[in-house]
Structure 1
Amino acid sequence: MRLEIQSEADPFDFYAKDAGLGRESLYKALTPGAKPRYDTMLKLLHALGVKLSATPVHQ
């Protein structure tokens, strides 16, 4: 019999909850080749504390 105890919570659980997404949805959105929706990425960025902004290429 093998018993494993996870000492730290899965970071995906924390960020998924904070973004208002399910853990599986977050994994699916971040899988290589996935095409996540814009609103999904904005929710994730907000949960990570990242602000997305645009600036002109040519000034």
Structure 2
Amino acid sequence: MPVLALGGEKMMGRFMMPMLQTVADDVRGSSVPECGHWLVEEKPDYLLAQLNDFLP
């Protein structure tokens, strides 16, 4: 099952992919630039674009 891993670069961004790759084979995502903990509030357009690319 594909997993979307997103985290703000100022928070957990660089750790999300490696952490989820320990439990899933198909991990996609990135560190969200110029973002902290609250992706939905801080980068809604970026998050929406990532979700649109990820979801069928």
Same fold (TM over 0.5): no
The structure where strand makes up a greater share of residues is: 2
What's the TM-score once normalised by structure 1's chain length?
Answer: 0.28
What's the TM-score once normalised by structure 2's chain length?
Answer: 0.29
Task: Point out the structure with max Rg over C-alpha.
Answer: 1
